[in-house]
Structure 1
Amino acid sequence: MNDIFMWGIALWTFIMLGAMTIGGYFMFRKFLKRMPKEDGYSELDWQEHYIDKALPLWNNEARHLLNELVSPVPELFRDVAKERIAGRISKIALDEKADNITLDHIMKGYIIATPKRDHKFMKKKLDDMEIDYSPYEDLFQYADDEKQKFSIFEQTEKISSRS
């Protein structure tokens, strides 16, 4: 009986260490995103800035479309993904001096904000929603890539010059 109890404690210890390691990894990533860059603002500060500035440009249809596009993301990560995509969309719309957020802005922001490893799922969702993404095929090269670390807003200058 004593051996079973000791094995249970050992198993519980490994499970807890594993959970703490995984949680620490995600906390450290969030910490790095909060670190200020050369301009004194972090990636998340800029993201919030663009979302706040473009808030009047978002109509109910655009909000609903964004919610639908992020619906395949697991609920635990959905809010983070939505804010990241909304930050990109907002920056693109502000750079183009748009009066409101359109499908064009949403598609551009959605594509470059979605990591390359998730493009298969993204394309499936767009096909399910019957949204033609062929005019935006060239934007897939600017999507987030875990191997290339860059500011989440660097690509918007590249895609503005594409039009």
Structure 2
Amino acid sequence: MNDIFIWLIVLWTFIMLGLMIIGGYFMFRKFLKKLPREDGYSELDWQDHYIQQALPLWDEESKALLNELVSPVPELFRDVAKERIAGRISKIALDEGAREITLDHIMKGYIIATPKRDHKFMKKKLNELEIDYTPYEDLFQYADDEKQKFSIFEQTEKISSRSE
């Protein structure tokens, strides 16, 4: 009986240690994104800035489409994904001097903000919504990648040069 109790304690210790390591990893990633860059603002600060600047450009239809596009993301991470994608879309629209957020802006931001490992799910969702993503095939190379991290600025600059 004592052996079983000791093994349960050892097992519980490893489970708790594993969960703390996983949580620490995600907290550290968030911490790194919050660190200021050369200009004094972090990636998240700029993301929030672009969202606030472009808020008048978002109509109900574009907000509904964004909500539909992030619906496959697990609920725990959905708000973070939505903010990340909305930040990319907003930056692209502001750079182009748009008067409103269009499907073109949403597609560009959605593609570059979605990690490459999730492209299969993204394409499935776009097919379900009957949205043609073939005109944007070249943008998949600029999508977020775990091996090669792009900043919001590098991605949108590459997209801007694409349309010229």
TM-score of Structure 1 vs Structure 2, range by shorter chain:
over 0.9
Structure 1 segment 92-107 matched on structure 2, within 5 A: 92-107=92-107
Segments of structure 2 that go 5 or more residues without pairing to the other structure are none
Distance in structure 2 (CA, Å) of the matches to 1:155 and 1:13: 43
Segments of structure 1 that go 5 or more residues without pairing to the other structure are none
Q: Which residue of 2 aligns with 1:143?
A: 143
1:52-84 per-residue CA deviation (whole Å, 9 max, x = no partner) reads 110011111000000000001111111110000
Q: Which amino acid aligns with 1:44?
A: L
Distance in structure 2 (CA, Å) of the matches to 1:100 and 1:153: 21
Structure 1 segment 6-155 matched on structure 2, within 5 A: 6-155=6-155
Shift of 1:20: 0.2
Superposed structure 1 runs of 4+ greater than 3 Å apart: none
Distance in structure 1 (CA, Å) of the matches to 2:106 and 2:143: 14
Distance in structure 2 (CA, Å) of the matches to 1:9 and 1:152: 46
Distance in structure 1 (CA, Å) of the matches to 2:61 and 2:150: 31
Distance in structure 1 (CA, Å) of the matches to 2:115 and 2:149: 12
Root mean square deviation of aligned Cα: 0.8
Distance in structure 1 (CA, Å) of the matches to 2:153 and 2:89: 10
Distance in structure 1 (CA, Å) of the matches to 2:89 and 2:109: 4
1:32-54 per-residue CA deviation (whole Å, 9 max, x = no partner) reads 00000111110000000000110
Conserved? CA contact 1:139–1:159, under 8 Å:
yes
Conserved? CA contact 1:88–1:153, under 8 Å:
no
* TM-score, length-scaled by structure 1: 0.98
Shift of 1:152: 2.4
Distance in structure 2 (CA, Å) of the matches to 1:14 and 1:162: 50
| Count of residues in correspondence between the two structures | 163
1:99-121 per-residue CA deviation (whole Å, 9 max, x = no partner) reads 11000000000000011111111
Distance in structure 2 (CA, Å) of the matches to 1:42 and 1:15: 34
Q: Which amino acid aligns with 2:59?
A: N
